[in-house]
Amino acid sequence: MHDMSFMLLLVVFLALVFDFINGFHDTANAIATTVSTRAISPKTAIMMSAVLNFFGALLSTGVAKTIGGDIVKSASMVNANVIVAALIAAIIWNLVTWWYGIPSSSSHALIGGLVGAVAAASGFEALNAKGIETIVLSLVISPVIALVTGYIIMILLLWVFGRLAPNALNHGFKKMQLISAAAMAFSHGSNDAQKAMGIITLALVSGGMIDSFEVPTWVKFACAASMALGTAAGGKKIIKTMGTNIFRMVPMSGFSADLGSAIVISLATFFHLPVSTTHVVSGSIMGVGSAKRVTAVRWTVAQNMLMAWVLTIPLSAAVGVLIYKATLFF
């Protein structure tokens, strides 16, 4: 019982660390466009994002149930060692990609780590193939939908406002960016923080601490706070990549990118689907840039990001396998 309690505490600790790093890593998602267009100062943008991340995280628990309930066939088929390995794998990947300024997906890393650790512990038959397929499909399709959404919004705005003087457009859309950035930050918290909630709840169910897969209130508040604190700490390296390296934005394009991202993430949360906010925002920015001019997008940067996206799940799964094997010695 003592060992079980220790392992559950370790799961909770690591899940909150993952959530903190997720917030730290993904600060760029909500504020990169507003910072790059100078609609708001970085410090103010980060604090606004942190507060809205916190309240967004309390919105629902549908995504948490998908993460905790749809990857493995039964909670009885995993234990704390498996979940610890998955979290460590995801944390390692997040830190490495943050260090090199690569906007990779925390969601991909967590899912990859969990798949690898479960497969190492109980074999592939313990994995829920249909659930994983749905999750991966949502992760893959959502950036494409975001690209199309960003493109359409930008085309519509150019059609309506394109004849106005650039100075008037920039002044007006700088104010509008505050609304779109707020919507983006809230939607980010509503989807991303639930992933750690799902992992903690899975550990509580598998450890016999709770009877059904219902996220406890304390888990919701702990994960929301951890995500918000991580967001407040900021991630300036990725802000640069997202805000300027893909496509040099002006306030109208920044507003379009944020609005498109917020719409896609909010819909995913409504349907209880986990998405990568990093991928969604990147896709939306590419769509907005393409609406103005296809050559305006730095597709070489997009290509490097795509490579990171593709590699995240298999590499984090491999790390999950290695970490799980290592836990057997302790």
- Residue-range domain boundaries for the chain: 2-327
Angle between helical axes of 80-99 and 166-206 (0-180°, round to 10): 160
Residue 72 backbone phi and psi in degrees, to 5: -110, 150
CA angle 157, 162, 165 (to 5 degrees): 125
CA distance 84 to 166: 52
CA distance 43 to 35: 9
Sign of the alpha-carbon torsion through 202, 207, 210, 212: positive
CA distance 45 to 62: 28
Dihedral Cα 319, 322, 324, 326, nearest 10 deg: -130
Question: What pLDDT, on the 0 to 100 scale, is given for residue 302?
Answer: 67
Question: What pLDDT, on the 0 to 100 scale, is given for residue 248?
Answer: 67
Question: What pLDDT, on the 0 to 100 scale, is given for residue 2?
Answer: 43
The amino acid sitting at 301 is V
Total number of residues shown for the chain: 330
Of 247, 315, 276, 324, nearest in space to 145 by CA: 276
Of 296, 166, 222, nearest in space to 13 by CA: 222
CB atoms within 10 A of CB 123: 10
Of 27, 19, 21, nearest in space to 52 by CA: 27
CA distance 242 to 199: 28
Are the C-beta atoms of 275 and 138 separated by less than 8 Å? yes
Pull the structure tokens for residue 307: 């490579």
**Collapsed DSSP state (helix, strand, coil) of residue 194:** helix
CA distance 213 to 127: 17
CA distance 22 to 198: 15
CA distance 35 to 37: 5
| Exposed/middle/buried for residue 295 (C-beta within 10 Å: 0-12, 13-18, 19+) | exposed
CA distance 258 to 51: 17
- Residue ranges in the chain modelled with pLDDT below 50: 1-2, 238, 241-244
